[in-house]
Structure 1
Amino acid sequence: MHFGTLSLPARLFLLAWNGEKGRFTGGPDLHLVVRAGALAELAGRGVLVDTRGIVTPVVGARTGDTVLDALVELVEQSRPRTWRGWLTHRSRATLSAVRDQLATHGYLRQERRRVLGLFPVRCWELERAGYAEALQADAAAVLRGPRPVAEVSESDAALVMCAATGKVRPFVTGRDRGRHKDRLAELTDRGGGASPELTELMRALRKALASAIASAEATRSSSGGGGD
């Protein structure tokens, strides 16, 4: 996939676009997925490293991307946390920052509507539907094959790992996750490239994301909100 300079979390957000419904339907845990994408990209760039399970920033390292660098600064200024901890801590802030960034670059526009004609709500409309659809088609091909995993870029492998593990709709279904379980494991390792340390980190991040999603679903189920 070749989608310019868009970051991994930005591309994950666009995977949540539902062309049939004309709106974003990524699910209630999209903020966790987007945060996972940000962590994966920062790790891939060598800005964040794993220190015995703790997310550790490389002193002074920056990417030039406002969303990613804001997360790095947050990690630097906060107490030490695991990958699981950083998936949930203020993760909606990263989602909001990604939406604002995409709007600034012309991918989204913000509209205000009223529910029942009374309550104002903020809605996001996609300006480049063709772009999102192409991204989704390419990501689906990465997940389902037949392209060899070895030929998939590290960034694309991390993208699909986060989206599939995070159950981003309409990109992936439960049947997809079961049918392509082995390939998803291979894509997780591919996201680490040739680095054994980064490969282990990607495995840890996938496990942490799956745990965070399951916890969120359990919370909604116990409160009557349902799950996936």
Structure 2
Amino acid sequence: MKQPESLAQRMFLLALDPDKGRTHSSTYLRPLIRSAVLTELYLSGHLRDDAGKPAVEVAGPCADPVLAGVLQEIGEGRPRRWQHWVGRQGRQTTDAVRDQLIDGGLLRAEPRRVLGLFPSTYYTLRDPRVRSRLTATVSAVLRDPVGRVDPADAALVSLSVLGQLHKVVPRAKRKEHKQKIKALTEVTGPAAPALKKTIDTYHAAAAG
């Protein structure tokens, strides 16, 4: 069974609703995917936190072209806070991760028309067990002591919660494991709270 190769690919599959053939709202999905890329770069040691801003610690090698592209963005840009990088180039990064999943044989894209008029795309998992395995990992992380959880798996939970993936971590589970999720978010790194701030900004704008 093929597995997604990056944290961003794993988050994309968790954000997919297999019954509807589409992903979570693009408004939240894009910063979610960006935060997953930044988190993986941080956990792998390519990025460090420098007074609340990501800075390049190791410029390479970075085999994944999406990760390499974001690392280059940060290296060539002026120092900005994590939230800036979470919100930047969201569509391009998300599309690139989706294409990786399609090219890698994990996802199938089927062109369709809504009401026979409006073009749309229906996404199908080639092997539904891949997503089931990811959701099982999320459940295991919520059961296991934080000290025994791999940071990349901790990120699956914290980013799912902060990215509003309610079907992955339902409200009841979030309430039950509130303190544990807080600890997992600390393990995940600085891109996770930056994701929360980004989505809180969206909520504030919508309410206004």
- TM-score normalised over the length of structure 1: 0.82
CA contact 1:113–1:120 (8 Å) conserved in 2: yes
In the TM superposition, what whole-angstrom CA distance separates every residue of 1:148-167 from its partner, at most 9, and x where no partner exists?
Answer: 22211121112211111211
User: Quick one: which amino acid aligns to residue 112 of structure 2?
Assistant: R
2:34 match: secondary structure: helix
Tell me if 1:217 matches 2:203. Answer: yes
In the TM superposition, what whole-angstrom CA distance separates every residue of 1:24-62 from its partner, at most 9, and x where no partner exists?
Answer: 443340111111111111011111111212211236323
Tell me if 1:32 matches 2:31. Answer: yes
In the TM superposition, what whole-angstrom CA distance separates every residue of 1:139-186 from its partner, at most 9, and x where no partner exists?
Answer: 12213x1x2222111211122111112111420223322221100122
CA contact 1:167–1:173 (8 Å) conserved in 2: no
In the TM superposition, what whole-angstrom CA distance separates every residue of 1:101-146 from its partner, at most 9, and x where no partner exists?
Answer: 0001001112211122122223322212111111112212213x1x
Deviation at 1:6, TM superposition (A): 1.4
User: Quick one: which amino acid aligns to residue 197 of structure 2?
Assistant: S
CA contact 1:48–1:57 (8 Å) conserved in 2: yes
The 1:190–1:175 alpha-carbon spacing in structure 2 relative to 1, beyond 3 Å, is same
1:188 maps to 185
User: Quick one: which amino acid aligns to residue 33 of structure 2?
Assistant: V
The 1:22–1:130 alpha-carbon spacing in structure 2 relative to 1, beyond 3 Å, is farther
Counterpart Cα distance in 2 of 1:176 and 1:185: 13
User: Quick one: which amino acid aligns to residue 198 of structure 2?
Assistant: A
Counterpart Cα distance in 1 of 2:159 and 2:119: 32
Counterpart Cα distance in 1 of 2:15 and 2:70: 22
Counterpart Cα distance in 2 of 1:8 and 1:161: 12
1:122 match: secondary structure: strand
1:23 maps to 21
2:48 match: secondary structure: strand
Counterpart Cα distance in 2 of 1:117 and 1:66: 37
CA contact 2:107–2:124 (8 Å) conserved in 1: yes
1:120 match: secondary structure: strand
1:163 maps to 160
CA contact 2:11–2:160 (8 Å) conserved in 1: yes
Deviation at 1:206, TM superposition (A): 2.6
The 1:133–1:5 alpha-carbon spacing in structure 2 relative to 1, beyond 3 Å, is closer
CA RMSD of superposed structures (Å): 2.1
User: Quick one: which amino acid aligns to residue 135 of structure 1?
Assistant: L
CA contact 1:150–1:190 (8 Å) conserved in 2: no
Counterpart Cα distance in 2 of 1:213 and 1:11: 20
The percent of aligned pairs where both chains have the same amino acid is: 34
User: Quick one: which amino acid aligns to residue 21 of structure 2?
Assistant: R
1:225 maps to none
1:110 maps to 109
Q: How does 1:88-103 map to 2 (within 5 A)?
A: 88-103=87-102
2:71 maps to 72
Aligned length: 207
The 1:185–1:46 alpha-carbon spacing in structure 2 relative to 1, beyond 3 Å, is same
Deviation at 1:218, TM superposition (A): 2.5
